[in-house]
């Protein structure tokens, strides 16, 4: 009877060892696939790459990186925008009609596609391409902004529209603030709502912002905060 008992004990020990190895490998985090310099940043200080991001990068990571490189955009910023826009769902559609990974409005997608000879705009990769181009264009529209301010202004414009951010810049400048910093524009965005019409009459001849009153500023503020949060995580976890 000792023989079977010993064999059973050995089998249990081997099984426990195998399970232990599997747990260690799994707990390394998905970030191990996208290595970082652990001599600069200790591993335990880096957030793990979440499963949604990992799955998206497994299927579309190479395309996103190549397209971002082509158009001069940090692919990790594009990834953060994509995550906030669609939560990595290629079939996502907003109540306003924005579509795909990068949640482009149909007219914006068609316009960009015509400029860049993109034929099948319904494909997920084409949606990523046009979204990266759109983000690149937003970044170019704030040449006077520096560093993170430029990124935040571009991200705000991606969400609310360029003219909205430019209206907020006009308010910031009127108030004596620097229109090329995100904190100044962030403070000015709420002043585009209708209840600040008395102020707006001193800025625009029409008495209202160029793009009309803006009541959705809360959404834009949260949007920028979320995108930059994801971007900071991706900067720590993913190589450029």
Q: pLDDT for 43-91, tens place per residue?
A: 454 467 888 999 999 999 999 999 999 999 999 999 999 999 999 999 9
Residue 41 located in a structural domain: no
pLDDT band at 102 (very low <50, low <70, confident <90, very high): very high
DSSP 85: H
Structural domain for 117, as ranges: 48-140
Residue 9 located in a structural domain: no
Indicate if the pLDDT at residue 32 is higher than 90: no
Indicate if the pLDDT at residue 15 is higher than 60: no
- How high is the pLDDT of residue 35? 30
DSSP 209: -
| Pairwise CA distance, residues 155 & 220, whole Å | 9
- List pLDDT tens digits, range 169-221: 999 999 999 999 999 999 999 999 999 999 999 999 999 999 999 999 999 99
- How high is the pLDDT of residue 169? 98
Residues 134 and 168 in one domain: no
Q: Among 96, 121, 140, give the residue marking a domain's end.
A: 140
Indicate if the pLDDT at residue 26 is higher than 70: no
- How high is the pLDDT of residue 3? 52
- Tally of domains in the chain: 2
Catalytic residues: 85
End-to-end CA distance of the chain: 61
CA of residue 44 relative to chain centroid, distance = 24
Q: Among 112, 140, 168, give the residue marking a domain's end.
A: 140
| Backbone φ, ψ for residue 152 (5° rounding) | -65, -40
Indicate if the pLDDT at residue 131 is higher than 70: yes
Residues 109 and 189 in one domain: no
């Amino acid at each position: 009877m000792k023989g079977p008992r010993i064999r059973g004990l050995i089998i249990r020990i081997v099984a426990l060892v195998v399970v232990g190895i599997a747990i260690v490998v799994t707990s390394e985090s998905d970030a191990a696939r996208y290595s970082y310099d652990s001599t600069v940043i200790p591993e335990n200080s880096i957030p793990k790459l979440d499963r949604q991001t990992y799955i998206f990068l497994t299927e579309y990571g190479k395309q996103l990186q190549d397209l971002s490189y082509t158009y001069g955009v940090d692919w990790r910023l594009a990834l953060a925008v994509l995550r906030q826009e669609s939560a990595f769902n290629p079939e996502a559609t907003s109540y306003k009609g924005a579509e795909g990974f990068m949640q482009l409005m149909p007219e914006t997608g068609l316009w960009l596609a015509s400029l860049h000879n993109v034929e099948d705009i319904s494909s997920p990769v084409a949606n990523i391409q046009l979204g990266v181009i759109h983000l690149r264009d937003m970044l170019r529209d704030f040449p006077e902004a520096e560093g993170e301010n430029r990124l935040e202004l571009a991200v705000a414009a991606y969400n609310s529209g360029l003219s909205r951010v430019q209206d907020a810049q006009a308010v910031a400048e009127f108030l004596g603030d620097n229109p090329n910093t995100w904190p100044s524009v962030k403070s000015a965005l709420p002043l585009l709502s209708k209840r600040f019409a008395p102020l707006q009459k001193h800025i625009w001849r029409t008495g209202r912002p160029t793009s009309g009153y803006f009541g959705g500023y809360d959404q834009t503020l949260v949007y920028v905060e979320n995108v930059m949060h994801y971007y900071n995580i991706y900067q720590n976890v993913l190589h450029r």
